[in-house]
């Protein structure tokens, strides 16, 4: 949404001016007419202030507008009026711009799903495809309700995944920072005093001296090398599909964190597949679109392989088993759903099962992280104490 400085004439014939966000000059004129102002002239303003660009669309914004679409459609409000009201009242300028563009496209004859397709990077292929199904079947409000619920649930999953990864990372960073500061500033002062006392140094003291010297000498490299490795790996993943697949598979096998992420992704895949299939999308098409929400190249390839097997005539549970899409427990649930003709319910059960397992794992991991890192910190402090006090005790013993 672009800000415009405008000049116009109000209902009393007086000249007025101000600033208003609008998608374009035509949109600005329509907005001003609602306020009984006739536009005379306008000029675009920069949306940046001190280098800070306009806000971006977040997942919570998509959830919020989807809920509002669904609730107002259910109340009987026409879709165009809903979009028109939201583009004027929504707080996020980036969302306003998108809604204004969608409104203009629909005024020009486009369907809602076609207008959304211009912003596929924001809404996603699954969202747009389900909206298209809702338009064609006359069940748009029901589809939007399912979408809003799915997006909200996925947002909670993403928060859980971040919680598992961010909390240990923060605590570990604090511990590492304390250790580095000790090795750079505290230990050298203590070791200078110990060396001046003379006498034989024990293993703890020698290893502490070596560690402190190494950190002092290579402190810049210790900070720079991990950052360089991170960006090299990121670049390599963007250039090599095989490397990305291998690293994504490795991520699922990382001790402690890997199983949690794996279960969360399985829950998300099963839930998205259930929503699309129950909306009337064919199973193979649902599966193809689900591959895009996996967020893991290894799982995406497995899903693509399952699609090919199903198209060749394999039963769904057999295709899932051969392509390694789901573990054995989930495959048994899928097999029951396939036999009973209630595949959407079976997939929802799979989603619930792995969502619950992931939550239980998180609840087990969180209480153990802090004590574990406290033990590590205690070990380091004990090591420093032994390395420093050991030689002092030996010197005192010899004097006696």
User: Which residues constitute the domain of residue 99?
Assistant: 59-152
Residue 50: inside a domain: no
- Clarify whether residues 128 and 276 are in a common domain: no
Query: Using one digit for the tens of pLDDT, what is the confidence trace for 51-81?
Result: 333 447 888 889 999 999 888 988 888 888 8
Burial of 253: CB neighbours in 10 Å, binned 0-12, 13-18, 19+? exposed
Query: Using one digit for the tens of pLDDT, what is the confidence trace for 18-50?
Result: 767 676 777 778 778 877 888 888 887 654 433
- Clarify whether residues 236 and 355 are in a common domain: yes
Tokens describing residue 140: 């748009």
Res 399 pLDDT > 80: no
Domain boundary among 152, 185, 220: 152
d(CA 343, CA 222): 52
Residue 247: band (very low, low, confident or very high) from pLDDT cuts 50, 70, 90: very high
- Over its C-alpha atoms, the chain yields an Rg (Å, rounded) of 30
- pLDDT recorded at residue 309: 92
**Please, are residues 347 and 334 in contact by the beta-carbon 8 Å criterion?**
yes
- pLDDT recorded at residue 2: 65
- Clarify whether residues 69 and 197 are in a common domain: no
Look up the pTM and report it: 0.68
- Clarify whether residues 141 and 185 are in a common domain: no
d(CA 135, CA 296): 30
Query: Using one digit for the tens of pLDDT, what is the confidence trace for 96-150?
Result: 888 888 887 887 778 898 888 888 888 888 888 888 888 887 888 888 888 888 8
Domain boundary among 123, 152, 181: 152
Number of compact structural domains in the chain: 3
**Please, are residues 195 and 213 in contact by the beta-carbon 8 Å criterion?**
no
- Clarify whether residues 37 and 7 are in a common domain: yes
Q: Residue 381 maps to which CATH number? A: 1.20.81.30
- Clarify whether residues 205 and 315 are in a common domain: yes
- pLDDT recorded at residue 236: 94
- Clarify whether residues 130 and 224 are in a common domain: no
Query: Using one digit for the tens of pLDDT, what is the confidence trace for 207-240?
Result: 888 888 888 888 888 889 999 999 999 999 988 9
């Amino acid at each position: 949404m672009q800000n415009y400085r405008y000049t116009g004439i109000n209902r009393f014939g007086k000249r007025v001016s101000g600033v208003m966000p609008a998608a374009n000059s035509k949109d600005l004129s329509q907005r001003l007419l609602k306020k009984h102002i006739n536009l005379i002239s306008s000029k675009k303003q920069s949306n940046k202030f001190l280098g800070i660009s306009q806000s971006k669309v977040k997942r919570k914004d998509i959830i919020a507008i989807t809920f509002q679409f669904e609730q107002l459609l259910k109340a009987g409000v026409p879709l165009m009026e809903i979009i028109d009201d939201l583009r004027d009242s929504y707080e996020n300028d980036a969302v306003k711009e998108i809604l204004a563009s969608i409104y203009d496209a629909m005024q020009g004859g486009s369907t809602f799903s076609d207008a959304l397709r211009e912003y596929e990077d924001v809404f996603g292929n699954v969202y747009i495809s389900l909206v298209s199904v809702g338009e064609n079947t006359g069940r748009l409000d029901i589809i939007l309700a399912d979408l809003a619920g799915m997006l909200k649930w996925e947002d909670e999953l993403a928060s859980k995944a971040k919680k598992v990864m961010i909390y240990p990372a923060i605590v570990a960073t604090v511990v590492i920072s304390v250790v580095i500061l000790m090795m750079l500033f505290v230990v050298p002062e203590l070791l200078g005093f110990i060396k001046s006392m003379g006498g034989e140094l024990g293993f703890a003291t020698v290893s502490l001296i070596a560690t402190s010297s190494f950190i002092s000498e290579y402190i810049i490299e210790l900070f720079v090398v991990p950052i360089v490795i991170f960006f090299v790996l990121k670049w390599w993943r963007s250039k090599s599909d095989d490397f990305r697949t291998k690293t994504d598979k490795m991520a699922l096998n990382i001790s402690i964190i890997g199983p949690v992420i794996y279960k969360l992704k399985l829950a998300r895949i099963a839930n998205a597949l259930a929503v699309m299939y129950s909306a009337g999308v064919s199973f193979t098409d649902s599966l193809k679109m689900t591959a895009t929400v996996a967020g893991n190249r290894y799982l995406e390839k497995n899903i693509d392989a399952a699609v090919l097997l199903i198209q060749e005539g394999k039963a769904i549970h057999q295709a899932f088993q051969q392509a390694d899409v789901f573990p054995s427990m989930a495959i048994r649930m899928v097999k029951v759903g396939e036999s009973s003709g209630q595949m959407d319910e079976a997939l929802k059960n799979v989603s619930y099962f792995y969502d619950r397992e992931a939550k239980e794992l998180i609840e087990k991991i969180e209480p153990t992280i802090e004590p574990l890192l406290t033990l590590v910190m205690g070990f380091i402090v004990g090591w420093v104490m032994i390395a420093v006090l050991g030689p002092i005790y030996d010197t005192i013993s010899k004097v006696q």
